[in-house]
Amino acid sequence: MSLLGNIIWLVFGGLLSGLAYIVAGVLLCLTVVGAPFGVQAIKIGAATLAPFGKEVVELPRANSPLRIVFNVLWLALAGWEIALAHLVWAGVLALTVVGIPFALQHLKLIPLALVPFGRDLR
């Protein structure tokens, strides 16, 4: 079921979203200051390409002081906007019975979009 869900997800917008995150991440990686944020954007892009059958996990030392600082910067600069976009799409998709599994995937991506440092989708 995960494979079918991921294929449908990719066809109906997941591919474009994932590629947009990855391109933005590569552009951020062109600067020294943006590199850590670019890596996280690429990670979110990879998670957006195939979210079915995966879950957000907290890595060891996820709440180290440096990761907390980076998460606060991420949240202030872009994280809340990304999370809000996932929330809006989840609301739109939840209006139909067919869209509910896809809405749940958007809801799953919100914590990763808010605080990506120290978290991963596995």
For residues 40 and 48, give the distance between their C-alpha atoms in angstroms, rounded to a whole number.
12
Average pLDDT, stretch 57-73? 93
Quick check: 121 pLDDT over 90? no
Which contiguous run of DSSP H or E holds residue 57? strand 56-58
Quick check: 49 pLDDT over 80? yes
From residue 24, how far is each of 12, 35, 54, 102, 103 by CA, in Å?
20, 11, 23, 23, 24
Query: Is-contact 100 69, C-beta < 8 A?
Result: no
Local structure of residue 30 (DSSP, 8 states)? T
For residues 26 and 57, give the distance between their C-alpha atoms in angstroms, rounded to a whole number.
24
pLDDT tier for residue 43 given thresholds of 50, 70 and 90: very high
Global pTM value? 0.89
Each domain of the chain, given as residue ranges in start order, spans 2-121
Average pLDDT, stretch 48-66? 91
